[in-house]
């Protein structure tokens, strides 16, 4: 098949949906398909994905410095080339790129599928802007998709609550490249780089630093934990989003934790794996998480995890005992779980083993992409 992937940003620094688009394109190309990725060039100067056997076309964002990411050159390009594809996969929802390509796809009679990647909800970000977009374009964009891909039961619920038919929704979780975890960095690499003693207990949070991530509650719980478990350190790693980093630094200082809480900044590639492998515990306390790769990456690195019991990760895991789970914002519960997870060695080994088996059998990209490929073939063959 000739397959087009469309996403607003295509750089490792731009988050999980960019990673999904890259892995989907890479694995589809490995399976012999002709794959192209169309995106903006925003973020690509800072970090790029490894070369793959697929075409990447990045368009300039002339308004990026003002926080707008339209790519005007895409319009003419799409008019000339959209008809060359058998199927199109749009990533995220409210993007200029999706509107341009979806319009061209409709005119050319090319089917498209859409992965919202958790962007359907109005809970996070600019609510009024999202409602305005949806009123003008969003419903048109969604209803024109032949299929909608949900990455977890939580996202299936969101599609259903938006009034979309169940037979239009396909639940296909994101995957992990298991080969990436075959040879982990040498133990201690992250600790040495950041001056963390080998014998200290290290709690790690990894991901975008945003208000919805629940990191203020984590800092408060860590303050209580430190009183009961001396020698424990907390690292909050990730890119700042909306000035939240400065607020968290102030909270840590006010709690007298300035020397026990580190903010190493964004971590990618080997640096990310080194942090996950060196941590004693990885905590993802987000208020809103449709899927979340970090807990599964941590498990593959042999590190136990704590997650929000209402998250998409929790719904995916079901009744498996692959993670410690606490309700979002429950400070006493989070404090108790942190203390338990840092002291219960037998339970940790069992949890990690269950989690690794879950990832290897359910979330291997090589198996996930076969399901995506099957969905494309269904859409192309149905003539919807």
Structural domains for the chain: 2-175+364-382 (3.40.50.2000), 179-362 (3.40.50.2000)
Looking only at the bridges linking them, the beta strands covering 201-206 and 232-237 are parallel
User: Tens of pLDDT along 22-76?
Assistant: 999 999 999 999 999 999 998 877 778 888 899 999 999 988 877 778 999 999 9
Contacts of 199 (CB under 8 A, 6+ apart): 231
Mean pLDDT over 239-246 rounds to 88
Percent pLDDT > 70 in the chain is: 96
pLDDT single digits (tens) 268-327: 889 999 999 999 999 998 877 778 889 999 999 999 999 988 787 888 887 788 889 999
In this prediction, residues 150-176 reach a mean pLDDT of 90
More confident residue, 258 or 195: 195
Whose tokens are 């338990």? That residue is: 340
Give the per-residue pLDDT at 59. 95
Query: pLDDT at position 129, please?
Result: 67
């Amino acid at each position: 098949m000739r397959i087009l992937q469309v996403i607003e940003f295509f750089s490792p620094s731009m988050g999980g949906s960019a990673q999904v688009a890259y892995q989907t394109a890479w694995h589809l190309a490995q399976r012999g398909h002709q794959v192209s990725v169309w995106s903006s060039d925003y973020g690509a100067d800072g970090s790029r994905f490894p070369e793959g056997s697929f075409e990447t076309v990045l368009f300039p964002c002339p308004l990026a410095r003002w926080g707008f990411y339209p790519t005007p050159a895409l319009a003419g390009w799409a008019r000339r080339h959209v008809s060359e594809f058998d199927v199109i996969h749009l990533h995220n929802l409210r993007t200029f790129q999706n509107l341009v390509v979806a319009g061209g796809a409709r005119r050319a009679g090319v089917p498209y599928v859409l992965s919202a990647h958790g962007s359907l909800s109005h809970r996070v970000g600019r609510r009024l802007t999202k409602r305005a977009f949806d009123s003008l374009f969003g419903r048109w964009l969604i209803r024109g998709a032949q299929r909608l891909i949900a990455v977890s039961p939580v996202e299936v619920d969101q599609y259903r609550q938006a009034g979309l038919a169940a037979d239009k929704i396909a639940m296909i979780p994101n995957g992990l490249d298991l080969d990436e975890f075959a040879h982990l960095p040498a133990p201690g690499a992250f600790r040495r780089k950041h001056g963390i003693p080998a014998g200290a207990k290290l709690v790690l949070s990894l991901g975008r630093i945003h208000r919805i991530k629940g990191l203020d509650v984590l800092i408060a719980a860590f303050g209580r934990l430190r009183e009961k478990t001396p020698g424990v350190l907390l690292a909050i790693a990730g890119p700042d989003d909306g000035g939240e980093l400065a607020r968290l630094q102030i909270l840590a200082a006010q709690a007298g934790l300035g020397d026990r809480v580190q903010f190493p900044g964004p971590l990618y590639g080997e640096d990310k794996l080194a942090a996950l492998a060196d941590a004693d515990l990885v905590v993802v306390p987000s208020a809103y998480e449709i899927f979340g790769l970090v807990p599964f990456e941590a498990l593959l690195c042999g590190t136990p995890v704590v997650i929000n019991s209402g998250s998409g990760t929790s719904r995916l895991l079901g009744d498996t005992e692959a993670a410690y789970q606490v309700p979002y914002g429950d400070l006493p519960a989070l404090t108790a779980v942190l203390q338990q997870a840092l002291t219960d060695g037998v339970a940790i080994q069992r949890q990690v083993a269950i989690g690794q088996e879950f990832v290897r059998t359910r979330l291997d990209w090589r198996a996930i992409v076969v399901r995506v490929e099957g969905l494309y073939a269904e859409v192309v063959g149905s003539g919807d």
